[in-house]
Structure 1
Amino acid sequence: MTTPRHRPAAGEALRARLRLTEPAVRAATAALWDAPGLAQRYPQYLRVMHGVVRASVPLMERAAARCARLAGAPGPDPVAEPLARYLAGHIEEERGHDDWLADDLASLGHDPREALGRPPPPAVAALVGAQYYWIEHHHPVALLGYIAVLEGNAPAPWLADRVVRDAGVPAAALRTVRAHAALDTGHSDDLHALLDALDLTAGQVHTVTVSALFTVDALLGLFGTLTRTPRPGAPHGPPATAGGTP
């Protein structure tokens, strides 16, 4: 009689898959932070990241509401209740972070109402919008793949000081970078522990993985709009305009 093969816990397995994407992510972030012109690029970074971050709480609220419907449905989903509890706590941890980005823009002398009143670029809609679809039309567990990627690629603790020193960006305009460097490592560990603890089906593990890998690809595309660098495998289209798209 053969012994069944051990299947790694979902959090462990996702970490292993995401490690394969690290070279591409490192190259994209190096182009963002290391290339000349960072002082001019940084306000654009704040605008597009505001478009992403302001969706964080609404996305989690939508996922929690879908969990409540699944938990109350006939043949309840055992993942729905613990996922909803995690989301309820994480919503409060993430609330107001978009205001930090607006304050950072103001510290650079930009009017946040004008800067953030433009439609977010398509790359933001692509990154965030897929999660709304999967939450409503598949399963809210997909959001964990998105969160794993965003919080697993937090700024390094030394990044803010280097941006101040090398690009001359005022220290007051780096509140969000500093805060997420401190917060997201712990958040990422909590997320992977949750994935290990949830009683996920093989299909749900696949959903989380698909969501995470899509998020990596979409994030590379988003960074490419800031650096004019196409992500690996992307067509070489014209550069984004300086109007609504950073």
Structure 2
Amino acid sequence: AHVTDAPVIEAIREGRFDLTGYTWFLTQAYHHVKHTVPLMMACGGRLPERLEFVRKALVEYIEEEYGHHEWILNDLAACGEDKEAIRHGTPDTSIELMVAYLYDRINRGNPAAFFGMVQVLEGTSIELATPLGEAIQKQLGLPDEAFSYLYSHGALDQEHFEFFRNLMNEITDPDDQQAIIEAARMVYRLYGNMLHSIPLVSVPGPSNRKEQRHEAA
């Protein structure tokens, strides 16, 4: 429950969430989503021939996922942030470690470990992204243009996740399965650490609304 019990989830429901928290979260999302396609390419290049069916699926997945990091930068711009400053910035330690861990597992361990990240992030987004996005939008009064990432990775992503669940069911080698499980545990912990680090406000109130920041957007 390290992800689902993060204080930010209760804070959003209680109205204790402001623009600073949302843009901080989006910034961290950018810094891991921009690695999704490079990680898939690295994984695909190191998969053994017996997992050729997984490599084929990765080719399709890469086409679907390419460019999603730019959506997040556009969301940030709609919130009044300087997206180029964020593009060239650095992530929270938890995200830096999560990305580094996945590259390490692909290059130094079993490349199937990549799918541990897919399991955690896709599964979490289906459960939480849409309802929390709607609550945040209502609280902060932000335009739809500030929510392309959350809304696109929410309930509408269920078919996508089902595709990968079926793919994982076809991976039957115990070593591959164990690599995926271990990576999922690590990603769950590190992604959860990021969620626990999101800055929150102590009390709800109208001061949390930041309409002035996004009027120009």
Change (3 A) 1:93 1:223: same
| Structure ID, larger Rg | 1
Deviations along 1:40-84, whole A, 9 cap, x unmatched?
Answer: 2111111111001000000001111112xx32xxxxxx22x1111
Deviation at 1:191, TM superposition (A): 1.2
Distance 1:33 1:186 in 2: 27
Q: Unaligned stretches of 5+ in structure 2? A: 201-217
Distance 2:10 2:31 in 1: 21
2:89 to 118, 123, 126: 118
1:99 counterpart SS class: helix
Deviation at 1:24, TM superposition (A): 3.0
2:2 to 24, 35, 49: 24
Native 8 Å contact 1:83 1:141 kept in 2: no
Paired AA for residue 5 in structure 2: A
Deviation at 1:223, TM superposition (A): 1.1
Distance 2:149 2:130 in 1: 12
1:119 counterpart SS class: coil
Distance 2:177 2:2 in 1: 23
Paired AA for residue 170 in structure 1: P
1:158 counterpart SS class: helix
- Give the root-mean-square deviation of aligned CA atoms: 1.8
More helix by share: 2
Percent of pairs with identical residues: 24
2:91 counterpart SS class: coil
2:104 to 125, 128, 133: 133
Q: Which residue of 1 aligns with 2:70?
A: 99
Distance 1:178 1:125 in 2: 25
Deviation at 1:113, TM superposition (A): 0.5
Q: Which residue of 2 aligns with 1:64?
A: 44
Distance 1:132 1:169 in 2: 35
Q: Which residue of 2 aligns with 1:239?
A: none
Distance 2:144 2:165 in 1: 32
Distance 2:157 2:101 in 1: 22
The count of residues paired between Structure 1 and Structure 2 equals: 196
- TM-score, structure 2 normalization: 0.83
Q: Which residue of 2 aligns with 1:237?
A: none
Deviation at 1:115, TM superposition (A): 2.5
Change (3 A) 1:134 1:91: same
Alignment of 1:1-246 (within 5 A): 23-28=1-6, 30-31=9-10, 33-34=12-13, 36-67=16-47, 70-71=48-49, 78-79=50-51, 81-154=52-125, 155-198=128-171, 200-227=172-199
Higher relative contact order (CA 8 A, sep 6+): 2
- TM-score, structure 1 normalization: 0.74
Distance 1:158 1:122 in 2: 27
Deviation at 1:182, TM superposition (A): 4.0
Change (3 A) 1:119 1:40: closer
